[in-house]
A and B are shown apart, each in its own frame.
Chain A
Amino acid sequence: MISQEQLIVSLVLGLVMFGTYLPAAGLYTFYERKVSAWMQNRYGPNRVGPKGYFQFVADGVKFFLKEDIIPDYVNKPVYLIAPALVMVPALIVFSAIPIGMSFTWNGQLVNLQVTDLNVGVLFLLAVGSLGVYGIVLGSWASNSKYPLFGGLRASAQMISYELALGLSVVTVVLITSNSAGNPLSLLTIVDHQTEYWFGIIPKWNLFANPLAFVIFLVTSYAETNRLPFDLAEAEQELVGGYHTEYSSMKFAMFTLGEYMNMITMSMFTVVLFLGGWHFPGIEVIPSQALSVIVSIGVFAVKVLFFAFLFILVRWTLPRFRYDQLMVLSWKVLLPVALANTFATAVWLVVVP
C-alpha cells in the first residue's frame, strides 16, 4: 500500500517534471546550439534576450506560427499520431527514474521518484524503445522515399543496438542481484551503488564494470538517433530522413521528442552506471533536507554532463556508413556484451 506522503511527492514530482520537460527540451536545443557554436569557434545565438537565452522561446513560437502542411498522399491517421508516439514515451520513461535521495517524512520512507516499479529496468527498456515506432510509422505514413529510407534505417539500427544495450543493462542487474532488494528496481540499483569498496571507492557500476558502461554509452547514442548514429535523419543524404514530410509543430514534436529522449537516456545512464544521486561523502551531510537537495543537485550535474557529452560526441565523430553501423553492432558490440555478461555472471558466482 502506498503511503499518503509518497503519493503527494509522486504527484508533485510528476506534475513538475511534466511541466518542465518540454521547456527543458527546448532549453536543451538552445544549449546544443550554443555549445556547438563554441566548439566551432563561433558565438552561437546571442541576440534574443540576455545572451540569447530566449532563443528557444523564439524557436518555439516560430514553430507554432508556421503553416502546418499535411500532404495529400500521406496516410493521415498514422501520419498524425507518429509525432506524439515519439514524444510520449520519452515523457513516460521519466516516471521510473529516482532523481534524489529517499527521505523520511512523517515517519514514512518517501522516494524521490514518481513510482518505484518493481520492473523498472524492463519498463525503461520497453517504453524507451517504443520511440522508434513513432519514427517508423511516421516515415512509412509519409509515403515518400526519403522518409522511408530513414525509417528503414532507424528500425534496423534500433533492433541491432537494442540487443547490446539490453545486455549491458543485464550486467548491471546481475551486479545488483547481490543486494537485498529487487534488482530490477531502479531504486535498488542506485542504493546498491551507494556502498563503498575499501571505504573510499564508490561501488558505482561504472567502476564495477567499465566495459558495460562503454557499450551502454555507445548504444545509447544509437538508441537516441544521435551522431555518429543518426542515419535515420542524415540531413545530407536523406533531407532530414523520417521527418522530411513534416512541418510546423509536428516537426517540432519530433525534434523535442529526440531531445527528451536524450535527457531521459542521460538520466538512465546516470542511474545505471554513475550511482544516480550518489556522490562520495554525501552521507556526512548532517541535515536530511540539505542532503536531499544536494543529492538532486548531484543528479542534475551528472545528467547535464551526459547531455553535454551528447553534443561533444556529435561534433567530434563523423556519421557511420550503414554497413559499418551493422558491423559495429553485430560483430563487435553484441559479442563483447555477451562475453561481458557471461564473465560478470561467472565472477558473481565464483567470487563470494
Chain B
Amino acid sequence: MAARTVLVKRPEKLTWWERLYLPAILDGLRLTLKHMFGERVTVQYPDEEKVFPPIYRGVHRLNKDDLGRIKCVACEMCAAACPAHCITIKAQEVDWPDRDKIPKIFEIDELKCIFCGWCIEACPEDAIHMTQHYRLVARTREDMIFGLDKLLAIYDETKDQPALRGVDFGDFRTARKREIGPDAESPSDVQRMAYPVVGVVTRDKRLAPAPTEHLSKLEGFEVKRHEKGGYRLSRRGETRER
C-alpha cells in the first residue's frame, strides 16, 4: 500500500502583537473583573435553602389514610425490594374491614438506606413516600433507626409538602418525557448526540471542518453554524416518539 500524504493545516504563527501576551492578559483581567460584578451562586445555607425538584429522595415517611390510620398493610414488598436490606417489618393481625394486617414493627435504618427509592416503587398501597427532608441528625446509631413513631410523625409534618410518590409520579415525568432521537451508527455518534456540539472553534473560522458529510447520516438532525463559531447539531422539527 502506497504511503498517503495528509496535509494538516496548522494554526498560523502568532503575530508580533499576540506574542506580547499583554493584550491577552488584559482581556483576561477584564473577564475576571466582570465576574466580580456577576451573580453570586452560593446558597447561603442556614439562611436560605435550595428548592429541590419534586422527585428529591429525602427521608421516608409512612402515610396515613383518610381516617388517620396507617396505610401500610405489612406486605413486605418494600423490604423485599430494598437493595440495602434496611427495612424491617413485623406484621400484626387486625380485624379492620379493609385489611387483615398492619405493621407492628416498621423500621428503616436510615444509615443503611441508600435512598434509591425502590421501596416507594414497590409499595402497592402508596403507603411509603420520600420527603424533601435531608437533615438527618442523631447522636447514636440506634437513633438513626426510624420506627413507626418517627415515620408517621414525619408524615404529619410533611403531608402538605411535595414528596416522591410511588403510584403516580406526579407531573414531572410525564411533562419531561424523554425525547427519542435517531439511532446511532457508531460510538462517536452517541457521543455527539449526548453532547451535540461539533466542529472546532479556530481563530480563522474557515478552518473549522464542515461536519455536514459525516452528520448528514443522522436523520432528523441538522447542522447549523453557531454564532460563536463552530457548528451545532440540532434537531430538525418535531421529535419522534417510539
Q: With A and B bound together, what is the CA distance between A40 and B39 in angstroms?
A: 10
Question: Are B40 and A39 touching (Cβ within 8 A)?
Answer: no
Q: Bits for A12-52, please: 1 = Cβ < 8 Å to B, else 0.
A: 00000000000000000000000100111111000000000
Question: Are B40 and A43 touching (Cβ within 8 A)?
Answer: yes
Question: Are A316 and B36 touching (Cβ within 8 A)?
Answer: no
Q: Bits for B19-37, please: 1 = Cβ < 8 Å to A, else 0.
A: 0001001001101110111
Q: Bits for B34-49, please: 1 = Cβ < 8 Å to A, else 0.
A: 0111111110100000
Question: Are B32 and A42 touching (Cβ within 8 A)?
Answer: no
Chain A residues near B39 (CB-CB < 8 A): 41
Specify which of B25, B32, B38, B41 is in contact with A315 (CB 8 Å cutoff).
B32
Question: Are A317 and B35 touching (Cβ within 8 A)?
Answer: no
Number of interface residues of A (CB under 8 A): 13
Chain B residues near A35 (CB-CB < 8 A): 36
Question: Are A316 and B42 touching (Cβ within 8 A)?
Answer: no
Question: Are A41 and B38 touching (Cβ within 8 A)?
Answer: yes
State the main secondary structure of chain B at its contact with A: helix
Question: Are B28 and A38 touching (Cβ within 8 A)?
Answer: no
Q: A38-B35, A41-B38 are in contact. Are A313 and B29 (CB under 8 A)?
A: yes
Q: Is A130 an interface residue (CB 8 A)?
A: no
Chain A residues near B40 (CB-CB < 8 A): 41-43
Specify which of A40, A214, A316 is in contact with B28 (CB 8 Å cutoff).
A316
Question: Are B28 and A39 touching (Cβ within 8 A)?
Answer: no
Q: A41-B41, A43-B42, A214-B22 are in contact. Are A317 and B36 (CB under 8 A)?
A: no
Q: Is A122 an interface residue (CB 8 A)?
A: no
Q: A214-B22, A316-B31 are in contact. Are A39 and B36 (CB under 8 A)?
A: yes
Q: With A and B bound together, what is the CA distance between A35 and B36 in angstroms?
A: 7
Chain B residues near A41 (CB-CB < 8 A): 35, 38-42
Q: With A and B bound together, what is the CA distance between A41 and B38 in angstroms?
A: 6
- Tell me the minimal C-beta distance from B44 to chain A in angstroms: 7
- Tell me the minimal C-beta distance from A131 to chain B in angstroms: 26
Q: With A and B bound together, what is the CA distance between A316 and B41 in angstroms?
A: 19
Question: Are B44 and A43 touching (Cβ within 8 A)?
Answer: yes
Question: Are A312 and B42 touching (Cβ within 8 A)?
Answer: no
Question: Are A316 and B22 touching (Cβ within 8 A)?
Answer: no
Q: With A and B bound together, what is the CA distance between A43 and B44 in angstroms?
A: 9
Q: Bits for A194-232, please: 1 = Cβ < 8 Å to B, else 0.
A: 000000000000000000001000000000000000000
Chain B residues near A317 (CB-CB < 8 A): 25, 28
- Tell me the minimal C-beta distance from B79 to chain A in angstroms: 44
Q: A38-B35, A39-B36 are in contact. Are A312 and B29 (CB under 8 A)?
A: yes
Question: Are A316 and B32 touching (Cβ within 8 A)?
Answer: yes
- Nearest chain A residue, comparing its CB with the CB of B30: A316
18 contacts between A and B (CB under 8 A): A35-B36, A38-B35, A38-B37, A39-B33, A39-B36, A41-B35, A41-B38, A41-B42, A43-B40, A43-B42, A43-B44, A312-B29, A312-B32, A316-B25, A316-B28, A316-B29, A316-B32, A317-B25
Residues of B within 8 A of A (CB): 22, 25, 28-29, 31-33, 35-42, 44
